[in-house]
Amino acid sequence: MERLDIIVPVASYEPLSVLKRSVECISDLEKGDLDIRIVYVLDLRREDDDRLNFLEKMPVGVIARADNRGRRAGAINDALDVYEKTPDYIALFDVDSRPDRNFLLECVGTLRSNQDAVIASSARFVTNADDSLVTRTISAEYLFFSDVYRIFKKLDGFNQFNGLIGVLNTRTVEQLGLNETVSCEDLDFTQKIYLSGFTGVFTPDTMVGEQAPSGISDLFNQRVRWLTGAYQGLRTYLPSFVTSEIPVSRKLAWFLSLSIPFVAFIGTIFVPLYGLRLWRAYGIRSAIVQTFGLAAHLWLITLCGIVALAKQVFGGDVEWKESRRSEV
């Protein structure tokens, strides 16, 4: 029987209510023929953290960290370091991840049938889409990226799964490791697996939900960090991608994925056309709101790119700030 360990990093600011929903959802996932263990890596607020008390009463493993070294990457690395026997797969989720019940089985099946695949994941949806105009807009953005994943699946493109949410081959993760010093450890790791001749594979028959930032400030901070990661990726790996022997389609998809956000505003003219897709998915009223929201969102992303570049030029820090959570 193959073993799969689920690792869920929990930042110090995550509320107990969201953690409880996470344990409920993750514990309910279909297991099939897999030996599954669940581990929460908790960054403590204080010694008497009520979240630790809760987790210790649940049928899950707990690793408590007194600091937040390396943030999410550090938490995952710490979880990998304690293994006496390495599992065949690890599944990574955030505390707000709400995967479909068949998520693990679908992703493991994808890895089993693709020998070059290191990570398998799926389309995303926003669990707090009704919170604000911002979350409705991000919901439309996620639909767009779901369509992009399906196109890349046919064209052998570059699949970057945000947060590495999905199921991964453990040995490759241990060999390549997660870089705790970069802004986006998920993007950095994905680039390394592609340069090593491996791939990430989109799994179409399942989905995973997650919360979107509900306010402009949270969204702005998130996207500045993401675009800083994109800049770091281009700066670090461009020569390697150019000279590598991976297919041209993957090279081009990688370059476009990382560079286009810096000039995202040029996509504004195409947003009305995508509004037809939104109409079919969400109805006319929501589509109108989301179409205008997407147009504004493209300009916001461009601004975030400018800020990210300015921080790199002038030595500004990119902060990982606390995000507000909804009770979902």
Residue 257 lies in a domain: no
Residue (of 111, 114, 203) closest to 152 by Cα position: 203
pLDDT at 20: 97
The helices-and-strands tally (H runs, E runs) of the chain is: 11, 8
What's the CATH number where 54 sits?
3.90.550.10
For residue 72, the enclosing domain spans 1-96
CA dist., res. 82 & res. 161, Å (int): 25
Is 240 within a domain?
no
Main-chain phi, psi angles of 136, to 5 degrees: -65, -40
**For the chain, where are the E strands, in sequence order?**
3-10, 35-43, 61-65, 89-92, 98-99, 117-126, 166-169, 199-210
Domains in the chain: how many in total? 1
Q: What is the pLDDT of residue 319?
A: 67
Please answer whether residues 224 and 307 qualify as being in contact, where contact means their C-beta atoms are separated by less than 8 angstroms.
Answer: yes
pLDDT at 320: 64
Q: Tell me if 262 is assigned to some domain.
A: no
Inside any domain, residue 92? yes
The pLDDT of residue 300: 98
What is the model's pLDDT at position 67? 82
Whether 24 maps to a domain, the answer reads: yes
Q: Is residue 22 part of a domain?
A: yes
Is 33 inside a domain boundary? yes
Q: Is residue 71 part of a domain?
A: yes
Per-residue pLDDT of the chain (328 residues; tens, 9 = 90+): 899 999 999 999 999 999 999 999 999 999 999 999 999 999 998 888 999 999 999 999 999 998 877 788 888 988 888 887 889 999 999 999 999 999 999 999 999 999 999 999 999 999 999 999 999 999 999 999 999 999 988 888 899 999 999 999 999 998 888 999 898 999 999 999 999 999 999 999 999 999 999 999 999 999 999 999 999 999 999 999 999 999 999 999 999 999 999 999 999 999 999 999 999 999 999 999 999 999 999 999 999 999 999 998 887 776 666 677 776 6
